[in-house]
Amino acid sequence: MAQRFALIIDPVEASEQRADFSDTFTVVDAAAPALSVGELSTQRGDGVFESIGVIDRHAQEVMPHLERLANSARICDLPAPNQEQWRQAVAVAAAECPAGEAVIKLILSRGVEHGPTPTAWVTAAPASDFSNVRRDGVKVVTLDRGYSLDVAEHAPWLLLGAKTLSYAVNMAALREAHRRGADDAIFLSSDGFVLEAPTASLILRFGDRFVTPAPTGGILHGTTQLSVFEYLSERGLQVGYERIPATDLPRADAAWLVSSVRLAVPITAVDAHTLPVAPALTTDLNHYLLSPRD
């Protein structure tokens, strides 16, 4: 693969069972036009997606990503994806990836306005080099997300908890972080609780206890965070999901942003507070995250 690979999927019913879905895949030129001007993913961001890390052509944590894609589709009233069809599409894309680190993206859109079926496609490309931030860390600022922790319970139409294509707010948050001299941001609820970063989950260390905000209130359940917790648990360390007050952030003994492609990135400062870092543990985490995992 020179730069990018793209595969259009003709979605089938979630209940359809067969051994080979290859006749529902169409390889297209990733540099050529492929979507209709009426496509709702580009007109309205009306769709969902996943980003899967790939290590030496091995797609990481495929089923957790497909399960989260299905959950996002459910929240957004999109047709349920056929997991075996999508798993096979991921396998085709992974085989086209270069050696080293790459990223596969899965996109499920509502399709063309008034069209009969959704639009679905998979892309693959070399990943950016994140070795520096994994080593040196990032400074973050806290930003008010503008809603309370319980908003998802009484306003499900906000689609909180779905990984949607509507990422304008997330990108605006990153630009605001840069304007404030930071590298990234951590969202806070309007009632003062920690949520997540615009494109990553958050893990905090307090002694030998590692916690992440409970996946309620619109927090996306992170696949990489789940892998990190599995690794830490195997080492006999305590992990958990909690409601974390914003006032706890500067008290952390260490903190990381974790995501499928960037992996584990240490946080060196939150707002004006310098945080301790744990370089040896960070190295161990990333060594684990860079190993093949299903």
User: pLDDT digit string (tens) for 171-220?
Assistant: 999 999 999 999 999 999 999 999 999 999 999 999 999 999 988 767 88
Terminal alpha carbon distance of the chain: 23
Q: What is the model's pLDDT at position 289?
A: 97
- The Cα 113–Cα 55 span in angstroms is 37
Sign of the CA dihedral running 268, 273, 276, 282: negative
The residues of the chain that CATH labels 3.30.470.10 are 5-126
The residues of the chain that CATH labels 3.20.10.10 are 131-289
- Domain 5-126: which CATH number of 1.10.3210.50, 3.30.470.10, 3.30.70.580, 1.10.3470.10: 3.30.470.10
Which pLDDT value is given to residue 1? 43
pLDDT at 217: 62
Q: Across the beta sheet with 119-126, what order do the strands follow?
A: 25-28, 5-9, 119-126, 101-109, 47-55, 58-59
Model confidence at 15, in pLDDT bands (50, 70, 90)?
A: very high
Residue 240 binned pLDDT confidence (cut-offs 50, 70, 90): very high
More confident residue, 290 or 150: 290
Res 152: pLDDT: 83
Instruction: Return mean pLDDT, the chain.
Output: 94
CA distance 277 to 280: 9
| Helical H segments across the chain, by residue range | 40-44, 62-75, 83-95, 131-136, 151-154, 168-179, 223-234, 279-289
Across residues 148-155, what is the average pLDDT? 87
Q: Give residue 149's Cα distance to chain centre.
A: 20
For 90-111, how does the pLDDT look when each residue is reduced to its tens digit (9 = 90+)? Answer: 999 999 999 999 999 999 999 9
What CATH superfamily is the domain 131-289? D-amino Acid Aminotransferase, subunit A, domain 2 (3.20.10.10)
> Quick one: how many helices (H) and strands (E) in the chain?
8, 14
Q: Tell if the pTM clears 0.85, that is, is over it.
A: yes
Per-residue pLDDT of 262-277, as tens digits, reads 999 999 999 989 999 9
